[in-house]
């Protein structure tokens, strides 16, 4: 099959700062970027461009895209590829398998997306031409070395490993391998939000305001400088394999969002502590979209859910859809008291809660810029999952208010006394 594919306008749809990398052939391409720099979008575009550029060539691309777990890969990179396939009008020349997260092109090229927790799938993948390690600081040096060993043998295509991350801490294998000393056959690409011409002004202002919240976060996410994980709020948690089959009591926490993620966390109480599982963390969801997601995730309408009380209209709409949702306690003192309450509990986080784990690792108190004093309030960035579980834990178990479970049929929306 020979197809005429016009790529002359590729520059107009790419972030200009990343355009020169379309022709880069170095084996190691390291994308160190602050928040909103478009590094993940650009790597996805680069991979698609190379597949399309070589569409009529006798050789084929076989690309493996990895994150720490399959759920995080599905919610991030898989959705990203589907987005650009749709936006670029490529549906007719590829087949997307939503079950196993593969993209099969009609010329034989493939994009295979997985998590490192899917060992059976990974063992069956051979003949790779490139690998993308998204959020590579989540991975271990052994993960990287195993991937590096898989790109070997004679190939008409240059073997490439793409690595992308925020520079949260220089205490990492990525820093040691690629930044503490020079490494041959390597391209280091740095980017900040200023390199992304399509970033909305509200998010830009949010990033720039980090200078008034915490200098470390400002360096990492705004200036793309190596940071250090100081003033971390939660040290009372550990990772476990799965959520218990039976808990003494269960509540859910919901943090609304659109440009930043909607976060939904399930919290179960047992004698030894609280079990947390991330059920949803996704951007771009309308309230209608969210309700559809809730219908697939919550099978017991009596499950009590605590949500961000700053959006009462959203809460009312979700309750009208049949869910037992209540406004979380967000009085001025509640954040500090909620943090203190959660810090006194032993918490067990399921290993598939990738976004929650990432937040917990960097969730920190802000430091006063003028005095250097650590304040008693968290930095407002990458806190959606942490807010969601705090709403549930503190509103239900830490607050004196008694929230009894009410059937949705008993709620009178017209005279809403809970909002």
Residue 243 and residue 181 share a domain:
no
State pLDDT tens for residues 379-393: 888 899 999 999 999
DSSP 133-157: EETGGGS-HHHHHHHHHHS-S--SS
Nearest to 48 by CA among 74, 101, 4, 87: 87
Q: What gap in Å lies between CA 404 and CA 44, rounded to an integer?
A: 47
How many Cα atoms occupy the beta-carbon half-sphere of 12 within 13 Å?
5
pLDDT classification of 250: cutoffs 50, 70, 90: very high
- Residue after which a domain boundary falls, among 197, 224, 253: 197
The pLDDT, as a whole number, for residue 417 is 45
Residue 363 has pLDDT above 70, yes or no: yes
Quick one: tokens of 153?
């043998």
Residue 177 and residue 75 share a domain:
yes
The reply to whether 191 falls in a domain is: yes
Please classify residue 8 by burial: count the beta carbons closer than 10 Å to its beta carbon, then call 0-12 exposed, 13-18 middle and 19+ buried.
Answer: exposed
The pLDDT, as a whole number, for residue 1 is 61
Residue 408 has pLDDT above 60, yes or no: no
The reply to whether 205 falls in a domain is: no
The residue whose two tokens read 């966390």 is 265
Q: What gap in Å lies between CA 343 and CA 345, rounded to an integer?
A: 5
The pLDDT, as a whole number, for residue 332 is 60
The pLDDT, as a whole number, for residue 349 is 95
The pLDDT, as a whole number, for residue 71 is 84
Q: What is the CATH number of the domain that holds 355?
A: 3.30.420.280
Residue 251 and residue 185 share a domain:
no
CA torsion 153→155→158→162, rounded to 10°?
A: -60
| Residues 6+ away with beta carbon under 8 Å from 367 | 214, 215, 216, 231, 373, 374, 375
Residue 261 and residue 181 share a domain:
no
pLDDT classification of 409: cutoffs 50, 70, 90: very low
Residue 395 and residue 274 share a domain:
yes
The reply to whether 322 falls in a domain is: yes
Mean pLDDT of 29-55: 96
Residue 185 and residue 264 share a domain:
no
Mean pLDDT of 2-29: 92
- Residue after which a domain boundary falls, among 176, 197, 218: 197
The reply to whether 296 falls in a domain is: yes
Residue 370 and residue 298 share a domain:
yes
Of the listed ranges 206-220, 233-247, 255-269, the least confidently predicted one is: 206-220
The reply to whether 141 falls in a domain is: yes
The residue whose two tokens read 């490494």 is 183
Q: What gap in Å lies between CA 308 and CA 257, rounded to an integer?
A: 10
Residue 270 and residue 178 share a domain:
no
Give this prediction's pTM: 0.70
DSSP 50-85: HHHHTTTSSS--EEEEEESSHHHHIIIIIHHHHHHH
Distances (CA, A) of 173 to 70, 130, 186: 22, 20, 15
The reply to whether 415 falls in a domain is: no
Residue 405 has pLDDT above 60, yes or no: no
Q: What gap in Å lies between CA 168 and CA 138, rounded to an integer?
A: 11
Compute the residue count for the chain.
419
Q: What gap in Å lies between CA 287 and CA 315, rounded to an integer?
A: 9
State pLDDT tens for residues 118-147: 877 788 888 999 999 999 988 889 999 999
For residues 405 and 249, the answer to whether their CB atoms sit within 8 Å is no
Quick one: tokens of 193?
């939000």
Residue 229 has pLDDT above 90, yes or no: no
**Looking at the 3D structure of the chain, how many domains does it have?**
2
Strand order in the sheet with 62-67: 94-97, 102-105, 110-115, 62-67, 130-134, 160-165, 28-33, 186-191
> Residue 125's domain spans which residues?
10-197
State pLDDT tens for residues 252-301: 999 999 888 999 999 999 999 999 999 999 888 999 999 999 999 998 88
* Phi-psi group of 242: left, alpha or beta (phi > 0 → left; psi -120 to 50 → alpha; rest → beta): beta
Cα-to-chain-centroid distance, residue 123: 25
374 or 409, greater pLDDT = 374
Residue 259 and residue 145 share a domain:
no
Cα-to-chain-centroid distance, residue 339: 22
Query: From the CB of residue 302, how many other CB atoms can be counted at a distance below 10 Å?
Result: 11
For residues 254 and 279, the answer to whether their CB atoms sit within 8 Å is no
The pLDDT, as a whole number, for residue 170 is 80
State pLDDT tens for residues 179-205: 988 899 999 999 999 999 999 999 999
Cα-to-chain-centroid distance, residue 53: 30
Q: What is the CATH number of the domain that holds 118?
A: 3.40.50.300
Residue 273 and residue 159 share a domain:
no
| Residues 6+ away with beta carbon under 8 Å from 320 | 413
Residue 155 and residue 27 share a domain:
yes
Q: What gap in Å lies between CA 309 and CA 331, rounded to an integer?
A: 10
The reply to whether 230 falls in a domain is: no
For residues 50 and 25, the answer to whether their CB atoms sit within 8 Å is no
Residue 260 and residue 190 share a domain:
no
Please classify residue 372 by burial: count the beta carbons closer than 10 Å to its beta carbon, then call 0-12 exposed, 13-18 middle and 19+ buried.
Answer: exposed
- Residue after which a domain boundary falls, among 179, 197, 215: 197
The reply to whether 232 falls in a domain is: no
């Amino acid at each position: 099959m020979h197809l005429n594919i016009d790529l002359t306008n590729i520059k107009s749809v790419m972030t200009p700062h990343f355009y020169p990398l379309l022709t880069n052939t170095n084996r190691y391409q390291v994308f160190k970027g602050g928040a909103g720099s478009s590094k993940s979008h650009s790597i996805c575009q680069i991979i698609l461009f190379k597949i399309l550029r070589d569409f009529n060539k006798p050789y084929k691309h076989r690309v493996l895209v990895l994150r720490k777990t399959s759920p995080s890969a599905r919610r991030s990179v898989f959705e990203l590829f589907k987005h650009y396939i749709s936006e670029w009008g490529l549906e007719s020349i590829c087949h997307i398998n939503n079950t196993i997260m593969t993209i099969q092109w009609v010329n034989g090229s493939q994009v295979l997306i997985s998590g490192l927790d899917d060992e059976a799938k990974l063992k069956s993948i051979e003949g790779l031409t490139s690998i993308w390690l998204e959020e590579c600081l989540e991975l271990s040096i052994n993960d990287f070395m195993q991937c590096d060993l898989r790109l070997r043998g004679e190939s008409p295509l240059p073997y490439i490993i793409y690595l992308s991350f925020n520079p949260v801490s220089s205490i990492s294998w990525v820093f040691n391998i690629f930044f503490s000393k020079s490494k041959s056959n390597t391209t280091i690409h740095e980017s900040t939000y200023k390199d992304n011409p399509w970033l909305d002004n509200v998010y830009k202002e949010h990033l720039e305001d980090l200078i008034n919240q915490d200098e470390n976060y400002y360096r990492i996410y705004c200036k793309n400088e190596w940071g250090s994980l100081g003033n971390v709020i939660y040290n009372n948690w550990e990772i476990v394999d799965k959520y218990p089959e039976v808990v003494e009591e269960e509540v859910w926490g919901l943090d609304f969002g659109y440009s930043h993620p909607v976060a939904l966390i399930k919290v179960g109480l047992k004698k030894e502590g609280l079990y947390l599982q991330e059920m949803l963390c996704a951007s771009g969801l309308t309230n209608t979209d969210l309700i559809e997601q809730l219908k697939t995730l919550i099978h017991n309408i009596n499950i009590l859910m605590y949500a961000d009380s700053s959006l009462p209209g959203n809460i009312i709409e979700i309750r009208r859809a049949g869910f037992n949702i209540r406004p979380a306690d967000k009085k001025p003192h509640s954040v500090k008291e909620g943090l203190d309450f959660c810090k006194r509990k032993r918490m067990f986080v399921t290993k598939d809660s990738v976004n929650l784990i990432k937040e917990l690792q960097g969730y920190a108190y802000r430091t006063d810029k003028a005095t250097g004093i650590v304040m008693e309030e968290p930095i407002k960035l990458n806190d959606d999952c942490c807010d969601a579980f705090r709403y549930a834990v503190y509103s239900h178990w830490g607050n004196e208010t008694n929230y009894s479970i009410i059937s949705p049929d008993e709620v009178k929306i017209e005279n809403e006394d809970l909002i």
